[in-house]
């Protein structure tokens, strides 16, 4: 049963990641932005959702099935550490060393802040 929940969550998360990245790239094409904002956006959004889910689970407000569906399936397919790593490496290799460092720092800080914000929201609602 759990594997089916993971598949169902991923069926929503993966296309949402793709569409978000494409939309962000289209917007970036009109600017001189160097950072990979599509990957940043899905990773921060996924961190927010996972923080909210974790907080809800800690408060006993969600089932293990929802945790598997949303946490493992949806968030697992929405977020992407491998693309984040690859894009950071490409920035570095193309001479954008400061942009590569900024990508790491900003992504980690924003992801952690989003996870804490999600957990805080869950605590406000269910705590």
- In which region does residue 60 sit, left (phi positive, over 0), alpha (psi from -120 to 50) or beta (all else)? left
Tens-digit pLDDT profile for residues 29-55:
777 778 899 999 999 999 999 999 999
Q: How many domains are there within the chain?
A: 1
Domain that holds residue 67: 2-126
CA quadruple 15, 25, 100, 120: dihedral sign: negative
Where is average pLDDT lowest: 21-25, 75-79, 99-103?
21-25
The whole model's pTM is what?
0.94
């Amino acid at each position: 049963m759990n594997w089916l929940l993971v598949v169902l969550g991923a069926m929503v998360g993966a296309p949402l990641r793709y569409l978000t990245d494409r939309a962000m790239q289209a917007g970036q094409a009109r600017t001189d932005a160097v950072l990979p904002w599509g990957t940043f956006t899905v990773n921060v959004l996924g961190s927010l959702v996972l923080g909210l889910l974790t907080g809800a689970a800690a408060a006993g407000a969600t089932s293990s099935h929802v945790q598997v569906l949303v946490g493992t399936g949806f968030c697992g397919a929405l977020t992407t550490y491998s693309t984040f790593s690859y894009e950071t490496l490409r920035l570095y290799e193309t001479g954008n060393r400061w942009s590569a460092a900024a990508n790491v720092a900003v992504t980690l800080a924003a992801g952690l802040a989003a996870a804490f914000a999600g957990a805080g929201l869950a605590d406000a609602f269910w705590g």
